[in-house]
Chains A and B, each alone.
Chain A
Amino acid sequence: MRLMTSLLAATALVSALSGAAYAKTLVYCSEGSPEGFDPAPYTAGTTFDASGRTIYNRLTEFEHGKTSVVPGLAESWDISEDGLEYTFHLRPGVKFQTTDFFTPTRDMNADDVIFSFTRQGDETSPWYQYTPGISWEYYNGMSMPDLIKEMVKVDDLTVKFVLNRPEAPMIANLAMDFASIMSKEYADKLEAEGKMELLNQQPVGTGPYTFVAYQQDAVIRYKANPDYWAGKQAIDDLVFAITTDAAVRRQKLEAGECHIMPYPAPADVEALKGNSNLVVGEKEGLNVGYLAYNTQQAPFDKAEVRTALNMAIDKQAIIDAVFQGSGQIAKNPIPPTMWSYNDAVEDDAYDPEAAKAMLAEAGVADLSMKIWAMPVQRPYNPNARRMAELMQADLAKIGVTVEIVSYEWGEYLDRSKASDRDGAVLLGWTGDNGDPDNFLAVLLGCDGIGGSNRAQWCDPEFEDLIQKAKVVSDPAERTALYEAAQVEFKKEAPWLTIAHSKVFMPMSTKVKGFVMDPLGYHRFDDVDIEE
């Protein structure tokens, strides 16, 4: 009987498919399987591409191709004078997706918004542990439990977030995947049926694409959401063909089995660019690789010593040898795709002679130091050992002896936090929410000493600027503050800023309107494909 039902279902699907034989289909050769379809418990970009960016929306959204924030499910918002109350005015008439497993009976409202957050913060909510072992990494990681005092439903289409302290990046936090708005009606239905775990397997959102099916580790299928509030998408079917190996993704793209792929092997990029059926998109990743001095230890407590060392290192040679074309020189601690990036800042010139003279002037002779090289590959640093060796050779030219040290990764991360650490440490950061605060305050703020501030650097002027930028909500004012902070950073040189990775995205020339995302998402809203 079960076989019969399955056969009937299959036949129905075939007829449905043949009816849609001329449907526009875009095939994306994705790099891995999503961990689940509820984006909030997860941290991987692969999961966000397959859930948060396709199926769901948030109160605020990242502007397509930018790091700035635009209205999403909230049409507008007001921020109180003291920066403690954020009132969101929800978009009326937004429909949740209708699927085989759920038909919504009402539009999105304030209850959905409040549910989406309380499930992550309220330990008494049945949804807090709706599948075993679940934890809310980003909600906690972005300090939401300390930040949100309460959420108030003012009316069906108005929600007020009351904060414990002013926090301007709040608006950007709400555009992150953990803040995706779920249907409370669907959740209630699952809870009543005792099938809560399905929230993570059969998702329902308000986003551009409706989930159809997932074959584990193989294929995810979506169709355009006909009720999407911003209008139905131009492509009818979106397919993620999961292909983990970069060489195989390339073959599939060249054979026409998919239209677009992420993360080509760096060695393949030139060949892909030479293929007339393809175009290769290119953008800087939202990351920075750096060498952090320990500014609390002599002689690295002197800005001129740090600057002299920075001037002795040939960054272009590092980019060529270590990144092999997939990186670009970093002059600021934030990547160039981020708003408030100060392009007017001038990088220290590579000048070993001047560096030598500066060191002598600072009274430093026969300096020997340690450079810590990470044992793992990261987009912002594909080969730390090689990088450290190049630095060692450069610094030897100005009479500085370098010893390279390394530890196992967990140990490396832990030990490098210590404020009495001996040596400069190679590390990097990949941004979460496109807000400069997520780089500057986390990595260089006084609070981060003994933690994520590996330079152990606390500069009163810099601190003052970033703290002000945290509490003012006017974007222009914040931009000016962050620009000034970057100038102060360059003057004080707590780091050698090394590189931002470059991300490539090869695609068929048939793909239209795909925008490379500075936050590293692969978004398919507003994408079309030529027949």
Chain B
Amino acid sequence: MLRFFLNKLLLIVPTLIGITIVAFAFVRLLPGDPILLLAGERGVTPERYQKLLMQFGFDRPIWEQYFQYVLGLLQGDFGISISTKREVISEFLARFPATVELSFFAIIFATVVGIPAGIISAVKRGSTVDQTVMGLALTGYSMPIFWWGLLLIIFFSGMLHWTPVSGRIDLLYFFPSVTGFMTVDALLSGQKGAFGSAMSHLTLPAIVLGTIPLAVIARQTRSAMLEVLGEDYVRTARAKGLSSLRVVGLHALRNALIPVITTIGLQVGVLMAGAILTETIFSWPGIGKWMIDSISRRDYPVVQGGLVLVSIIVMMVNLFVDVLYGLINPRIRHQ
């Protein structure tokens, strides 16, 4: 087990190096001189151009720039935002809880709805229910997030007035941030209605962000369940006269869940990608929106640093899932 863990950990190193190269090259490969682009129609005098070149470090050879960059990363220096002039890492940390909170509720939604939907589909295989669930899953998986988000806003917020349009909490509530998680801070604040407001603000974005993982989880549960339901021990359980609920819910589900858990873990990457769009639509102040804003501002250090930080997080979660998989799967556990 320890060897399994160490192997996975070692694999991260080359991936990390690859990511730093990609993040570094990405900014350099973008067409155009970043200084000229920043100056726009206004232009820049040759003296000022030289000064900015030195300030950004673009005057040094490319390998030296990369070396400096990696050295900085190792010391936790992810650069300084061109637009806000603040450290990328502190900007990241300030917004990270918002994304975690949104992703957490999205994955809860996806799991709570996706697993039962997959089970029902598998049990009623080939029925109208199965076809409907799988049809919806395919639709959910193929739906453009941006369109889906706006559709929900127009319907639930614009027409029915059930949910707020965007933001994390009603503007009426105003309390200092303790944990960065709005739902927790709302509870801590003790303000009446604050928690409810935070939850109602979370509803639509969590549904939108959770839609693709929901579809994936439902499909994965269905296929894992189908496989397990055909196994001998399930037939034995049925033969013993156990109730259908007990056979499916206990004997079959326990084994079917192993690949599903991995799938859920792997959705973190999907959530990060989805967060970029979801946060933009719902004005959710997380890292997805932050990175999109930085791209439009051509704030390269943020795009570069954000990319590396997000990649590290996705890798860590994947590592965690691998370990978890190892722990719950006896075949790996006993190796």
| Chains A and B belong together in one complex | yes
Check A9 against B164 for contact (C-beta < 8 Å). Answer: no
CB distance from B325 to the nearest CB of A (A): 35
Nearest B-chain residue to A219, judged by Cβ: B171
Chain B's interface size range is 35 or more
Of A330-338, A350-358, A363-371, A406-414, the one with at least 4 CB within 8 A of chain B:
A406-414
Q: Is B76 part of the binding interface, using a Cβ–Cβ cutoff of 8 Å?
A: no
Q: Which of B37, B161, B172, B174 contacts A409 (CB 8 A)?
A: B37
Q: Is B89 part of the binding interface, using a Cβ–Cβ cutoff of 8 Å?
A: no
Q: Answer whether A17 and B80 are a contact pair too, CB < 8 Å, given A251-B154, A410-B32.
A: no
Render B268-300 as a binary contact track against A, CB cut-off 8 A, 1 for contact: 000000000000111101100110110001000
Q: Is B3 part of the binding interface, using a Cβ–Cβ cutoff of 8 Å?
A: no
Q: Is B84 part of the binding interface, using a Cβ–Cβ cutoff of 8 Å?
A: yes
Check B85 against A41 for contact (C-beta < 8 Å). Answer: yes
Render A431-459 as a binary contact track against B, CB cut-off 8 A, 1 for contact: 00000000000000000000110000000
Residues of A within 8 A of B178 (CB): 3, 6
Residues of B within 8 A of A27 (CB): 171
Of A58-66, A240-248, A306-314, A317-325, the one with at least 4 CB within 8 A of chain B:
A240-248
Residues of A within 8 A of B203 (CB): none
Pick the most buried of A218, A413, A452: most chain B CB atoms within 10 A of its CB: A218
Q: Is A216 part of the binding interface, using a Cβ–Cβ cutoff of 8 Å?
A: yes
CB distance from B31 to the nearest CB of A (A): 4
Q: Answer whether A409 and B289 are a contact pair too, CB < 8 Å, given A10-B175, A133-B85, A243-B166.
A: no
Q: Is B16 part of the binding interface, using a Cβ–Cβ cutoff of 8 Å?
A: no
Residues of A within 8 A of B81 (CB): 133
Residues of B within 8 A of A451 (CB): 43
Number of A-B contacts (CB under 8 A): 148
- Within the assembled complex, what's the spacing in Å between the Cα atoms of A216 and B32? 30
| A-side interface residues, number (CB < 8 Å) | 60
CB distance from B158 to the nearest CB of A (A): 5
Check A131 against B86 for contact (C-beta < 8 Å). Answer: yes
Render B173-201 as a binary contact track against A, CB cut-off 8 A, 1 for contact: 01111100000000011110000000000
Check A241 against B41 for contact (C-beta < 8 Å). Answer: no
Q: Answer whether A452 and B171 are a contact pair too, CB < 8 Å, given A251-B154, A251-B158, A408-B31.
A: no
Residues of A within 8 A of B86 (CB): 36, 131, 197
Check B167 against A452 for contact (C-beta < 8 Å). Answer: no
Check B157 against A255 for contact (C-beta < 8 Å). Answer: yes
Residues of B within 8 A of A134 (CB): 85
Q: Answer whether A413 and B40 are a contact pair too, CB < 8 Å, given A14-B175, A248-B283.
A: yes
Check B94 against A216 for contact (C-beta < 8 Å). Answer: yes
- Within the assembled complex, what's the spacing in Å between the Cα atoms of A33 and B42? 23
Q: List 22 A-B residue pairs with CB atoms under 8 Å apart, sorted by A's residue number.
A: A9-B176, A10-B191, A14-B191, A25-B171, A33-B293, A131-B86, A135-B55, A213-B174, A217-B293, A242-B283, A244-B283, A244-B289, A244-B292, A244-B293, A247-B150, A248-B165, A251-B153, A251-B157, A413-B40, A413-B41, A451-B43, A452-B43
| B residues with CB within 8 A of A | 31-34, 36-37, 39-43, 48, 52, 55, 80-86, 91, 94-95, 150, 153-154, 157-158, 161, 164-168, 171-172, 174-178, 188-191, 280-283, 285-286, 289-290, 292-293, 297
Which 5 pairs from chain A and chain B are nearest by CB? Answer: A410-B32, A217-B285, A410-B36, A218-B285, A408-B31
